[in-house]
Structure 1
Amino acid sequence: MSEKNGIEMSIDDMSVLHRAGSISYGLIGSESAVDNFIIEVGRANLSGFNYFHKKFGMPYEFLLKRSVSSGHALFAATDDRDRLLGFARFEKIADDVERVHKGKKSVVRHSVYLLRSIEVHPSFRHIGIGRLLFAIAVECLRSNIITMPDNADAARFFKEKLMFEKVSGNDCTVSSRYKNYLLLSYPKARVLLKIIAGNYPRMVMPELIDSYESLMFMSNMGKAISKKDIIRFETLLMNSSHLLDGNLLNEMNLFLKSFVSNS
């Protein structure tokens, strides 16, 4: 492991921000990281990424490396084989606006990133990877996000699933040149991941949910539960507590305390 600009980097130069089951979600730190990915491109008898390849004839390795070299924020979802499952590209178009009052600096308007593209491997669509990848990315960016979907289905997805709204005429968050874009404001962006985790806890925290349900079943059946299993559950709970809604967090803490008090 090494550090780059305060971010811990993995050996393949991808900072892992979240892990759900066998899927890692992270921020790409260099062009060379792209060389470590297995990128399946769609062909006649092979399912794979195809949008940019079909529309522009552009190799995906070139697209991703060019994004990094251009200073864009590139986020990726990969499996344990380093196969690329999805990616999202963001370009910063406006910096934070800060104010200093009585010697204290505060942000009065957060930066703005343009979502240039997000694509998920066709074999892994409709299971939440794209939604989770986007939510993890915007939590990391801590910014307003704008985008211009290229079709009605995409626009509906951004509005219904990711809380985007059309930029209003009197919105001073973004330049007037983006008046027809969709906007995810910073206050919504900062809570999106927690909302998704609350609605789909198994998708976001599969290990924690599996551990909890397994321990609950064993407890209800009167079976012995090992200290090792309790420690594992406690560790998973501690690592994911910031994503849990209040009711589920309290429920899990009460369950855990019942073992501590009986030990």
Structure 2
Amino acid sequence: MENIIVITGASSGIGQATAKLFAQKSWQVIATMRNTEHQSELKKYDNIKLLTLDVTNNASIVKAKERILEQYDHIDVLFNNAGFAINGLFESTTNLQVHAQFETNVFGLMSVTRIFLPVFRSQHNGLIINTSSMGGRITFPLLSLYHASKFAVEGFSESLSFELSSQNIRVKLIEPGSTITDFSGRSMEIVDGNDLYDYRDFMMRYRQSRKNYLNSPRSSAEDVAKQVFLAATDNSPKMRYVIGNDAISYIKFRTANGADESIQQIKKQFNIK
């Protein structure tokens, strides 16, 4: 019986790299995204099926699930990967932006999970892998909405794992650090807070310090995909898969020294008074 994985947000970055890797490992991949029209890369694989799925639209999720079940009699793994980040001063954000951040990263992930859970229950097995981030365990400046959404994913996933264990369904978390993808491009929305002059000193210090951070080594999307594959196949009770030296270092420091020391470390790194 072939192994089948459903991936959301597969149009680029981690989602696309994961789809390719699983296809190369002879899995049947259902790669979903909001728009499949311009997706040429994944069409090269015979064992990748492209489907339209918008995680913020329940009707779209239900339709995608129905189309999958018309062709396949089971699903082994659901990889909730769709997401984006809003970057900027919280005071400059709008309610629309706040809601959009959570609609995709949290409520969309929850909706996909809820709609696909009956499939796993009927099978009496399955695995849900959620893309979190080191930003679900530690925080950086100007990403308050993104961190809030990823902290929510962490709490949701961990608590959900208790009830789903009764159905022989597992939940795992992928926690990448800084990754070489288009995350800072089309997957990140920049909020312009230039009109808030009181933040000028803070922003100047942050921007100068951020250059050093951006020049530090980063993981590739393929590095993350390898850990997704490990999570899907290692049959272990391990829940969190931390990827990248930066993520490992930051999370290890916070675990060993506590939240207060970790916050002071970040403030020092970004020259924040």
The interval holding the TM-score normalised by the smaller chain is: under 0.3
Q: Tell which structure's C-alpha radius of gyration is larger.
A: 1
Q: State the TM-score, normalizing by the size of structure 1.
A: 0.26
Higher relative contact order (CA 8 A, sep 6+): 2
Q: Normalized per residue, which structure has more strand? A: 1
